[in-house]
Amino acid sequence: MLRRWLPPAVAICLILGYNGATALEHRRMDATTLQPAAAAAPARHRVDADRLFATVRSLSAPEMEGRRTGTPGNHRAQAFILARFRQLGLQPLGAGYEQQFSFVHRSILGTVMPGRPAKLPYPDATNLMAMVRGTAQPDAFVIVSAHYDHLGVRQGRTFPGADDNASGVAAMLETAAYVATHPLRHSVMFIAFDGEEQGLQGSKYFVAHPPVALDRVRLVINLDMVSRSDTATIVASGTSSDPALKELVSKAALGRRLSLAFGHDRPIYLAGGVEDWTNQSDQGPFHDAGVRTLYFGVEDHPDYHQPTDTADRIPRPFFTEVAELVVQTLIEADAL
């Protein structure tokens, strides 16, 4: 009789434990969320809000065709980013700004759906890399990264990817603009990854073929979907096991008119159904390689991976505040 009831009892305990962990994790995140300041930050603004939004509009424009890896639209996005690197006077890493690679994307759906390939080669993928050399410790690096590829055109519908991830690229380029005219103590590397939507391919390749030794990278700040939130909340992920990072980001957020949440960086046995983002974007391969990582992103919204992810739906005040937070976070990290 005991054996008959044991499996259902175990299942019930697992379900209760999962639901309980989910509820506790939501409470933990709510309790640690920093609320927006009553007034704007007293420090001078470091981000050109007009240029920030113009970058998102350009990268999510119809002629970019959704920026799918290997497509003409993706190549046009590359040209746009490279032109900005050169305009800002950023230095290439090694022989040039481009790190070319290829990969084969294996689709689980393709193995079961007729007419959909199980394997799809991408022979023409490119990471874009630039840097500003540090004034005091030029051989130590902080990386600011964002992927520029998106879903492209599917069944005649274009997926513009304004939030995912033209927003991250725009914030990265505004950070680069600041650092180009205000060099920091450490060297700062700016990377636009390709192939993220096909399984973090660009960052995986970079980690396997780094232009500088990974032990010289002090921190990776990755930006992916940073412009839209109904609650004006940006999430800093990667701080749960690193109190120093939480303190750093909290300091950077002082005076900002946004909410800053900490979380999405704990395993299922601790967080239940609150998704762990550690390996959901390009910080993942760095984390797996033992590099310190910090990820800024928003919770999913209804336009995520939809043709409706357009620039006109991005709230200007929130996005500008997030970009300012990214710049200040880098400044705080440089002081460590």
For the ranges 20-29, 134-143, 213-222, 268-277, the lowest mean pLDDT is seen at 20-29
pLDDT of residue 11: 61
Residue 222: asked if its preceding bond is cis (omega within 30°), the reply is no
Q: What share of the chain is helix, strand, coil (3-state, %, to 5)?
A: 45, 20, 35
pLDDT confidence band for 241 (50 / 70 / 90)? confident
Q: What is the pLDDT of residues 102-144, one digit of tens each?
A: 999 887 665 556 656 778 999 999 999 999 999 999 999 999 9
How many whole angstroms separate alpha carbon 297 and alpha carbon 235? 5
Q: Are 318 and 126 in contact (CB under 8 A)?
A: no
Mean pLDDT of 291-317: 98
Q: Measured in whole angstroms, how far is the alpha carbon of residue 319 from the centre of its chain?
A: 14
pLDDT of residue 2: 45
Non-local (6+) Cβ contacts of 322 within 8 A are: 171, 226, 227, 234, 258, 296
Q: What is the pLDDT of residues 66-78, one digit of tens each?
A: 999 999 999 999 9
Q: Are 167 and 313 in contact (CB under 8 A)?
A: no
Share of the chain above pLDDT 90, in %: 80
3-state secondary structure of 324: helix
Share of the chain above pLDDT 70, in %: 90
Q: Is pLDDT at 57 greater than 50 in this prediction?
A: yes
Tokens matching residue 260: 């800053």
Q: Taking each helix axis from N to C terminus, what angle separates 49-59 and 167-181, rounded to the nearest 10 degrees?
A: 140
Mean pLDDT of 39-65: 88
pLDDT of residue 43: 55
pLDDT of residue 74: 98
pLDDT confidence band for 6 (50 / 70 / 90)? very low
Domains and CATH numbers, the chain: 27-334 (3.40.630.10)
Predicted structure pTM score = 0.94
pLDDT of residue 21: 75
Question: What is the overall mean pLDDT for the chain?
Answer: 92
> Between β-strands 157-159 and 119-132, what pairing exists: parallel, antiparallel or unpaired?
unpaired
pLDDT of residue 44: 65
pLDDT of residue 114: 63
